[in-house]
Amino acid sequence: EIVMTQSPATLSVSPGERATLSCRASQSVSSNLAWYQQKPGQAPRLLIYGASTRATGIPARFSGSGSGTEFTLTISSLQSEDFAVYYCQQYNNWPLTFGQGTRLEIK
Amino acid sequence: EVQLLESGGGLVQPGGSLRLSCAASGFTFSSYAMSWVRQAPGKGLEWVSAISGSGGSTYYADSVKGRFTISRDNSKNTLYLQMNSLRAEDTAVYYCAKDFLTGQPYWYFDLWGRGTLVTVSS
């Protein structure tokens, strides 16, 4: 099983600033990585797939990068609605696995 | 409207069974692979099971293999998860999720239901 490790567990950032979230895979997943955003009481929302392609309707301030085992989600200028939990997911191998999440909170 | 609506959750005793359903609407259900993903209270996401659009291929997490069965009825636009021999650690919100692309599945998800809560407790 591929273990996905996200860091940090919690990130405190001020509105308008940049946030950088990391996701590391225990073995290569190529570019088969997705990012999701989840707000309290809501289902996850797909943000990024293929490590760097934004899903439909996702603002340009969200960007993804990386390949192999190291990935990054960057939010360039945080808006109030961006404070949430973010998960990475690999879909290169069975079983599909998620990271444990990074909570992005207001500083 | 494109949506997924789960049902069938509830309180069940350890060792019991439950069948979850996920009704799909607004898209050609049979063209998409589907998955179940769960989230224990206050915890992260855990993929549970997946099924191809035709239903001919199924996949399971080790934690549920042999206890859970995924299936679909494309004539009813409905996905199912039969859960047997339930354990306390199966307590979670169960989401159904639609694969991103039609045809060849990619196994990431662009549409999620609101989830249904399963509580396993005596």
Q: Per-residue pLDDT for chain B (122 aa), expressed as one digit of tens each?
A: 999 999 999 999 999 999 999 999 999 999 999 999 999 999 999 999 999 999 999 999 999 999 999 999 999 999 999 999 999 999 999 999 999 988 788 899 999 999 999 999 99
Nearest chain B residue to A45 by CA: give it.
B110
How many Cα atoms occupy the beta-carbon half-sphere of B42 within 13 Å? 0
Q: Which residues of A touch B (CB under 8 A)?
A: 1, 34, 36, 38, 42-46, 49, 55-56, 87, 89, 91, 94-101
The whole-angstrom distance between A80's CA and the closest CA on chain B is: 22
* φ, ψ (nearest 5 deg) of residue B88: -55, -35
Would the CB atoms of B45 and A36 count as touching at under 8 Å? yes
Residue A29 has pLDDT above 90, yes or no: yes
Binding-face residues of B in 15-44 toward A, CB within 8 A: 35, 37, 44
Would the CB atoms of B59 and A1 count as touching at under 8 Å? no
Contact B18, B39 (CB under 8 A): no
pLDDT of amino acid A37:
98
Q: Give, for B96, the enclosing helix (H) or strand (E).
A: strand B92-99
Which residues contact residue B65 at a Cβ distance below 8 angstroms, ignoring those fewer than 6 apart? none
Give the percent of chain A with pLDDT over 90.
98
Would the CB atoms of B112 and A45 count as touching at under 8 Å? yes
Report the C-alpha dihedral over residues B24, A40, A52, A22, rounded to 10 degrees: -140
Would the CB atoms of A44 and B109 count as touching at under 8 Å? yes
Amino acid at site B122: S
pLDDT of amino acid B105:
85
Q: Length of chain A in residues, anyone? A: 107
Alpha-carbon distance B49 to A71, whole Å?
Answer: 25
Question: Quick one: average pLDDT of A67-92?
Answer: 97
Question: Quick one: average pLDDT of A12-37?
Answer: 97
pLDDT of amino acid B103:
79
Would the CB atoms of B110 and A99 count as touching at under 8 Å? no
- Report residue A60 CA to chain centroid gap: 14
pLDDT of amino acid B18:
98
Per-chain mean pLDDT for chain A: 97
Would the CB atoms of B115 and A43 count as touching at under 8 Å? yes
- The distance in angstroms from the start CA to the end CA of chain A is 35
